Structure 1
């Protein structure tokens, strides 16, 4: 293995970031690269599926830094333990690993010749420079989001992006426009910080490090986002940008939570499969990701809308803790399960999302439009009914709805509460119709499958990436 190029892989500890990067790591290892993955102790178990299937991959386990700003509760090492508001504190804390990484690098008999790290770890660009090696940035999101971020960062007058305004990105293909609410949450957070706030520096370092990195890798595919990838290539002045997705998030998903109702849900879906021609694609899957919680009023409105819509559904949600309940987050209203018995299934906790989406009875996915959910819906060929709320979700929704015609938006907003009757109408009408969107997402599914097959665009980009890394060893 000493003759193989060695790289250090550094994931950001959030499920939606880690799982696709671990799958990419598996692909790179099977193409002959020597891999060391850096994790903190409590995140090691997430690597178990990868390490058991590929024992040649090594690990670098470093203690989670104890000091950070903003502070993190003791024992927390993954965003799932504190929610999305923990992104910036964990970004800040992980920068404390810089000196231990340098010490490990200098003492290693065969140190890595490149570092591949998540785009939330922009500070690793400077770390790589100190070690005299290039940094490859991994985007667990898409090229359109990256292009929007880059354009926001280079606005000639940042005051253009303020609440109550709409920004048109004329430099981007199709000139997309977003209002303040729809902008990426990380940027809005950055604008709310004063220059003296340490978190301001964390985000500044992130953006500068990403745009300056030697190469970029996206969990996307050319037929989905090629025009935005080409825009980034032109802007960067080099072609070391690779679309390698959709990465198989389900294949390496850690099973931290026990799901005891799988034997109930899948047979329940089976009863609507091939019963008659009207039953295929008749079930709506409802899920807003592993991190997002709805407020009590939102949960009540959604439950009422599902009841009023008369559609069959599977609703999976993350149950709130007692503390979150006291903060106004909600759970399924009392009596709802009994009211919809036979027509709907409600599951608290983790579910096998890929298996549910791929079931022939499922024809719609009510989703927050997080990137991993978007890709899983595309791979399954299931139309999305979007409820974008924050982060990258409005950007992803625009890509699917306006540019690819593979989804519809039925509501939007993080704090807003839908009118149940109106939401029910949109759900029922979309599930009964949605002809254009159903065709559009199935076309994307075929393109995604072709991209990942031998000789496809994502498979070819993986080979190109490995070749570029191998060239580093020859220099």
Structure 2
């Protein structure tokens, strides 16, 4: 039997940030396994991130293009997570400089791709695809509610009545359940928008190009996002919306999942051995993703809350990036690790999150509600304690509350939680009888069904491959 996508050439272009790349690289693995010929575009300093994917899929080729020079981005920085958060729009605009080199590559290729699958932060590739007469599919690493709000923001351009009121509520009445958010909780890409500013206008046009693109593929699944998926289909005016998640490594071996992000101060084997010594569902895992670094005030209150809670825990501490003042961030309080010895494990740097969450001992996660983490927690059947910090994380936390699968414990990058409240909520999170535990186990089963042989996500992946297999390059 022929493999469905055999002979169909597709260009995959991830946005260079860990939370965006991992999911699209997992999708790329699945597409290659379904017979598609893949070329994946990266800049030189991000090539190493592709190593696990390329070793598992020798048929995937790479297109390495130089990162476009940009005065505000330091030399050698080609990954968004290595930049201060406010430079995100600059990174997005800078990557638009790859339009012409990529156009030249297409026109000189003997058998060019018939479609581009690119991250939602690379909306300009829709215009590239239109220029070439081929299709562009936007890839969303975030959930349905977050994407629906993003589309509404850039289409409608809501404004504040009082430009100085960060707490003014903005509502989105056309989205299911009519979500409302304080202005400060909208995406900083949007709140930083200045009409006429070149970077701002580039970002807006990027988002409008996502809406205009031929298709949309999402790292989500029907049972989790049914209402918003239908809303997006209605808004886009077509059914080429594929929910193919939760995207995971094609092969779930320990070595593969342990290497998904980087090196750790504690080996994966030591972490797993430590977890082996604890009861089922009684350990709380604490992480704030690959970007967020806590201030020392936040660290102190969180450490105090963990100490007072009495629970067993694994805490992944993100170390400061260049430009953050030494001594003001990510300092574990003196003596803390000695006082919780045996009960708590502190990891500095990268932690093998997928392995930790899947361990039987882990029952809850305190996190920032990045979408990858949300999905990984659902797959593992782990209750979520939400402390959203920025951007889509507020929408994800709201979605979890609506689903009764998570509990908000704090919100905002500047907020300092109350340690006594944290201690109580953390202690209660490992109670087997909590409604959130029952609900997250239901979602866990739904995710398992979605990714099974006849599941909704597998069917959507097959539909995506079938649609791509029907395309032809107009110059052939």
User: How large is the Cα RMSD of the aligned pairs?
Assistant: 2.0
For residue 431 of structure 1, report the CA deviation from its aligned partner.
Answer: 2.9
For residue 150 of structure 1, report the CA deviation from its aligned partner.
Answer: 1.6
Q: Which residue of 2 aligns with 1:46?
A: 49
Distance 1:259 1:213 in 2: 42
1:261 matches 2:264? no
Q: Which secondary structure state, in structure 1, belongs to the residue aligned with residue 472 of structure 2?
A: helix
1:33 matches 2:33? no
Distance 1:246 1:157 in 2: 32
Q: Which residue of 2 aligns with 1:97?
A: 98
1:133 matches 2:134? yes
Aligned ranges 1:152-301 → 2 under 5 Å: 152-155=153-156, 158-159=159-160, 163-190=166-193, 194-248=194-248, 251=256, 253-254=259-260, 256-273=262-279, 280-301=280-301
For residue 337 of structure 1, report the CA deviation from its aligned partner.
Answer: 0.4
Structure 1 34/411 Cα, relative in aligned 2: closer, same or farther at 3 Å? same
Q: Which residue of 2 aligns with 1:315?
A: 315
Unaligned runs of 5+ in 2: none
Q: Which secondary structure state, in structure 1, belongs to the residue aligned with residue 156 of structure 2?
A: coil
Q: Provide TM-score, normalisation by structure 2.
A: 0.93
Structure 1 157/83 Cα, relative in aligned 2: closer, same or farther at 3 Å? closer
1:426 matches 2:425? yes
For residue 255 of structure 1, report the CA deviation from its aligned partner.
Answer: 5.2
Distance 1:299 1:264 in 2: 24
For residue 329 of structure 1, report the CA deviation from its aligned partner.
Answer: 1.9
Residues 382-413 of structure 1: CA distance to partner in whole angstroms, max 9, x if unpaired? 000111111111100111112x1111111111
Distance 2:155 2:107 in 1: 36
Q: Which secondary structure state, in structure 2, belongs to the residue aligned with residue 473 of structure 1?
A: coil
Count of residue pairs the alignment pairs up: 463
Please tell me whether the aligned partners of residues 257 and 350 of structure 1 are also in contact (alpha carbons under 8 angstroms). yes
For residue 90 of structure 1, report the CA deviation from its aligned partner.
Answer: 1.6
Distance 2:384 2:240 in 1: 32
Structure 1 50/449 Cα, relative in aligned 2: closer, same or farther at 3 Å? same
Q: Which secondary structure state, in structure 2, belongs to the residue aligned with residue 242 of structure 1?
A: strand
Runs of 4+ in 1 over 6 A off after TM superposition: none
Distance 1:393 1:327 in 2: 27
Q: Which residue of 2 aligns with 1:115?
A: 116
For residue 89 of structure 1, report the CA deviation from its aligned partner.
Answer: 1.9
Please tell me whether the aligned partners of residues 297 and 330 of structure 1 are also in contact (alpha carbons under 8 angstroms). no
Aligned ranges 1:391-470 → 2 under 5 Å: 391-402=391-402, 404-432=403-431, 435-470=434-469
Distance 1:93 1:434 in 2: 50
Distance 1:63 1:430 in 2: 47
Q: Which secondary structure state, in structure 2, belongs to the residue aligned with residue 167 of structure 1?
A: strand
Unaligned runs of 5+ in 1: 274-279
Q: Which residue of 1 aligns with 2:330?
A: 330
Q: Which secondary structure state, in structure 2, belongs to the residue aligned with residue 8 of structure 1?
A: strand
Q: Which residue of 2 aligns with 1:61?
A: 64
Distance 2:80 2:330 in 1: 20
Structure 1 258/164 Cα, relative in aligned 2: closer, same or farther at 3 Å? closer
Q: Which residue of 2 aligns with 1:6?
A: 9
Please tell me whether the aligned partners of residues 175 and 231 of structure 2 are also in contact (alpha carbons under 8 angstroms). yes
Structure 1 67/323 Cα, relative in aligned 2: closer, same or farther at 3 Å? closer
